[in-house]
Structure 1
Amino acid sequence: MKVLSNNFAKFLILITFLQSFLSSECVMPIKKDWDYRFISTELINDTPDATQAFVELSRISRGKYGLSGNVTLFTGTFGENGFIEMSMYRSVRNDGDFLKLPYEIQKESFFKFMNDHYKTILMDSLKDCSNMPIVEGVYATDWKAGESLTFTNCVFQDNKDTPAHFQPGFYKIIGRVFRPDDIQMTLTVVAEVFTVH
């Protein structure tokens, strides 16, 4: 199984997450011949006593949607003791069988995620639509009880790693955020990739 270390595309937490996978198929920079649209999103919070969270599709303009949401930590801290993992699936049809792709983020600490995938891939897309931190050096700040992360109309921004070509279809990204024993959240985002001329 191939594990992405420096390339993971974009969604929080959750966001999170399509651009990182797209960048794993990077080609020489030429005119991009594809685009995407969000289809659905679902957040399952199995530990409401520890966190409050929601994510939804928000209309930006006709036919264009972003991701909006809020996550509030109620107890303790979330840092080296918190973990994130993600996986990606593809189907020809939205109602078809989704097959797992050989790209994933295996379990890694929140600090490692912030200093790697977030800093190099996600930050450019989230810095202007959320209160996520702008990481310039080494990130090592715990997320503390009472603090909230807020996202409003977030979309994935192209960067130097955005591939010119990407296979059309429906992509499902599943991200899991957890602190052993008392935080369990799972975010699922489905997007359609289509060809443009």
Structure 2
Amino acid sequence: MTSSNESLAGGDCRLERISRGEYGMSGTLYFNIDLPKDLEVEANIFRSSDGGVTYKLEPYSVPRRGAYENLNTFYKDIAMTSAAKCSNFPQFNDSLELVTAQKFAYEKCTMDTAGFPNYLSDGYYKFEIKHTA
């Protein structure tokens, strides 16, 4: 995980073996400022079929829009339940109004894949998250 300004935000991410054939993500994510209300984010997924030499944009993405809108939809609907089991990521009922400056930690997180595509092509995958405020 890289950041263009690590004094504001950053973190690390790694895969860890849970059991034979099962892996989870572990790491940290930190914000040294409260997330601004006007922060916009987007996420793109890329796949490489040649061992990581070249990557092609996949059709799965999170469109550019307000960070809180994404947290209150994509995160809440897809990842929040899984994150509750392995991290200190926010948990909420109605909507998330503010993410304060803090450090989040996650340990061997796995994701319930019920809302994911049934098949992903073999290859290396790369996730890119962009933000503007």
TM range (shorter): 0.7 to 0.9
Q: In structure 2, what is the equivalent of residue 169 of structure 1?
A: 122
2:89 to 132, 156, 171: 132
Identity of matched residues, %: 22
5+ residue gaps, structure 1, are: 1-42, 181-197
CA-CA distance at 1:49 after TM superposition:
1.5
Q: In structure 1, what is the equivalent of residue 108 of structure 2?
A: 153
Q: In structure 2, what is the equivalent of residue 23 of structure 1?
A: none
Q: Name the Cα RMSD after superposition.
A: 2.2
Q: In structure 2, what is the equivalent of residue 111 of structure 1?
A: 68
5+ residue gaps, structure 2, are: none
TM-score, length of structure 2 as denominator length: 0.82
Provide the aligned length of Structure 1 versus Structure 2.
133
CA-CA distance at 1:57 after TM superposition:
1.6
Q: In structure 1, what is the equivalent of residue 9 of structure 2?
A: 51
* Map 1:18-97 → 2, pairs under 5 A: 43-75=1-33, 77-95=34-52, 97=54
Write the distance in 2 (CA, Å) between the matches of 1:119 and 1:157. 13
Q: Is the 8 A contact 2:40 2:67 kept in 1?
A: yes
CA 1:175–1:127 in 2, change beyond 3 Å: closer, same or farther?
A: farther
Deviations 1:66-93, CA, capped at 9 Å, x for gaps: 1111122223x10423232111223334
CA 1:93–1:123 in 2, change beyond 3 Å: closer, same or farther?
A: same
Match of 2:65, SS state, is strand
AA in 2 matched with 1:143: V
CA-CA distance at 1:106 after TM superposition:
2.3
* Map 1:4-19 → 2, pairs under 5 A: none
Q: Is the 8 A contact 1:78 1:179 kept in 2?
A: no
Q: Is the 8 A contact 2:52 2:124 kept in 1?
A: no
TM-score, length of structure 1 as denominator length: 0.58
Structure 1: 4+ residue segments shifted above 6 A = none
Q: Is the 8 A contact 2:42 2:130 kept in 1?
A: yes
Q: Is the 8 A contact 1:111 1:139 kept in 2?
A: yes
